[in-house]
Structure 1
Amino acid sequence: MDIQHLKYFVEVGKQKNFTKASQILHVSQPSISKMVKNLEDELKVKLLDRSEREIELTDAGVIVYEQALKVLQSVEDIYSYVDELVDVKRGNINMGLMPTIGVLLFPTILAGFKKQYPQIDISMTEGSAKQLEHRVKQGSIDLAITVRPVNSELFESIPLLSEELVVIVDSEHRLAGKESLCLSELKDESFILLTEDYVLHDVVEQACRESGFEPHVAYQSSLWDIIGEMVAAQLGISLIPRSMVSRFNNRKLQAISISEPQVAWDVVLIYRKNKYLSYAARELIEYIQSHQL
């Protein structure tokens, strides 16, 4: 058994298809099939159920797959440690952030980091908070700037920014002109929220429940601009971070503070606990911590 056997087997198990695995690995399908068969012969167990159109892991295959992932991660960590020692100032970072945070983070923070570390490359992935948390968990990105709540058992989280959520209403709404309100005053309103893929959706629903009512969600969208336009068209109200208000630039919209309870939008940087972080990733974390968003 060698690393190549495990690498090929893991890719087949992940793709559930020899053809797809061969395309990703750039290795012929017969070569992969032979490697997997050799692994099965060596372990004297059947690892793959090939009886259906889509390949499935057997019980033994699940065990080998899970252990192989750990072995391959350990090998990757060895290379990372060595690279760090050999070439300290170079590196690659796969980072995720929400589009809304991009407005706050660019250009100053990342531009400043790039100027200080010109040979560290950063690959950016955009997504919702839930999508980014999943990608950090799976290891496809090293770290992410997202929002609370996050899984504290799985992730380290570093607070970066906290701001209030405000209510936005159209200029002719019954609440227009108020400086502040209690969240309970919105119990009879129609809410326009981000979709359930976004943590903000859950934060708003939870805050409403804690204020004694279940929000009536009339519309959902994954686009902030659409939410703003729908509120301006008198289709409902919404709760958004205060920093987002100026983005709409719509005179028909008014923002109202929430006095009771105050609902926070907490921006955090997350990364996997007990997972090796490269020198480059650690430097970026330290740089972001030392600069105000």
Structure 2
Amino acid sequence: MTIQRYEVFNKVVQLRNITKASEELSMTQSGVSHAIKSLEEELEFPLLIRNRLGLQLTREGERVYEYTLRIMQTHNSLLQEVHTLKGLETGTVKVGSFASVTTQWMPTILNSFAEKYPGITIEIYEDDYESLEKAVSTGELDCCFTTDSTNKNINFVPLVKDKLFCIVSNKNPLSKKKVMKISELEKQPLIKPKKGWDNEVADFFNQHQIVPVVNYEVSDDQSILALVQANIGINIRPELVLNQNLENITLLDFEQEAFRIIGLGLNEHASPAASTFVETVTDLYQTSFFE
């Protein structure tokens, strides 16, 4: 078994496609297929099967994949540490993000990071909170932006309190109010983020024992805003999402302070390059509330 075979295997699993994996690894398709076949022969059981969704892991393959991810992560950390010891700062950091952070924070982060560490590449992957945290815990990502997490497989570094607002259409009679009573939420049709994207909203309802009347569930922030603008329902959104010109929408404060905590989810085996990324982000955004 070799490091290259692990790298090929991991890439094929993540892309579910030998052709795409060969392109990203700058290998021939036959070379990728041979590496997978050799690994399977050495282990003496199949790792992948093909179905209508593409290549999928076998039960044995799932167990092996957990270890090959850790091996590659440790190997990459070793290479980065060697470069650091030689005075060379290099490597790749795979960062999970969600739309509002990507839009509002990431340009500043990338520019600042590139100035300090021009030899380190940042790769950004967008998904929902749940998927990002899982990817960090398995080692597919080095870190991710997420909200205050109960996931015990990753560490959480808090950054900022992001205030929550109730947003309503200007056509809605509620737009004449200044403050939204939490008890009123159960009486209003709600546009709800889909599961995996709804941490702060679900936590808010659980905290106040609210059972909302859900009209629609959507995951994209812009889709949510469009439905609220059309007066199809109300919504609870964080301030970071609302840092733009919002036409036909009124922001209402809650009678009690409501917020989500945005932070970084980290794998406990963070590489030197990942650690420098975390330091850059905390320097830029961690507020005195958490100091």
Q: TM-score, normalised by structure 1?
A: 0.77
Match of 1:259 among 234, 255, 258: 255
SS in 2 for 1:212: coil
**2:289 counterpart residue number:** none
Q: What are the Cα deviations for residues 41-61 of structure 1, in whole angstroms up to 9, with x where unaligned?
A: xxxxx43399998887576x7
| Counterpart Cα distance in 1 of 2:66 and 2:131 | 23
Task: For residues 137-181 of structure 1, give each alpha carbon's deviation from its aligned partner in whole angstroms, at most 9, with x where no partner exists.
Answer: 232321122222341x22121111112211011223232222212
Q: Does structure 2 conserve the Cα–Cα contact (< 8 Å) formed by 1:13 and 1:56?
A: no
Q: Structure 2 matches for 1:162-201, cutoff 5 A?
A: 162-198=161-197, 201=198
Q: 2 CA distance for matches of 1:4 and 1:106?
A: 32
Deviations 1:1-37 (A, max 9, x none): x42697389559958x997799577426456535533
Aligned equivalents of 2:50, 2:223: Cα separation in 1? 45
1:208 is the counterpart of 2:205: yes
For 1:224, the equivalent position in structure 2 comes to 221
Q: Distance in 2 between matches of 1:97 and 1:50?
A: 29
The answer for the alignment partner of 1:36 in structure 2 is 40
1:132 aligns with 2:100: no
Give the match's secondary structure for 1:154: coil
Displacement of 1:268 in angstroms is 0.2
Tell which structure's C-alpha radius of gyration is larger: 1
Q: In the TM superposition, what is the alpha-carbon distance from 1:226 to its structure 2 partner?
A: 2.1
What is the CA-CA distance between 1:238 and the residue it aligns to? 0.4
8 A Cα contact 2:147 2:200, kept in partner: no
RMSD, aligned CA: 3.5
Letter in 2 for 1:47: F
Displacement of 1:237 in angstroms is 0.5
Extract unaligned runs of 5+ from structure 2. Answer: 287-291
Taking a change above 3 Å as real, the CA distance of residues 86 and 227 of structure 1, as seen in their structure-2 partners, is same
Once residues 31 and 242 of structure 1 are traced to their aligned partners in structure 2, the CA distance between those partners, rounded to angstroms, is 48
Question: What per-residue deviation string (whole Å, max 9, x for no partner) do you get for residues 183-235 of structure 1?
Answer: 1111111100222230xx24323422432331111012222222122112221
Give the structure 1 partner of residue 116 of structure 2: 116
In structure 2, relative to structure 1, the CA distance for the partners of 1:123 and 1:48 (3 Å cut) is: closer
Take 1:105 and 1:8, find their aligned partners in 2: how far apart are those partners?
A: 31
Distance of aligned partners of 1:177 and 1:243 in 2 relative to their CA distance in 1, 3 Å threshold: farther
Greater CA drift, 4-13 or 115-124: 4-13
Q: Aligned with 1:235: secondary structure?
A: coil
Residue 247 of structure 1: how far off its partner (Å): 2.2
The one-letter amino acid of 1:122's match is: I
Cα 1:75–1:94, aligned 2, differ >3 Å: closer, same or farther? Answer: closer
**1:128–1:197 contact (8 Å) kept in structure 2:** yes
Q: Secondary structure at the match of 2:131?
A: helix
Paired residues in the alignment total 277
1:107 and 1:52 map into 2 onto residues whose CA distance is 39
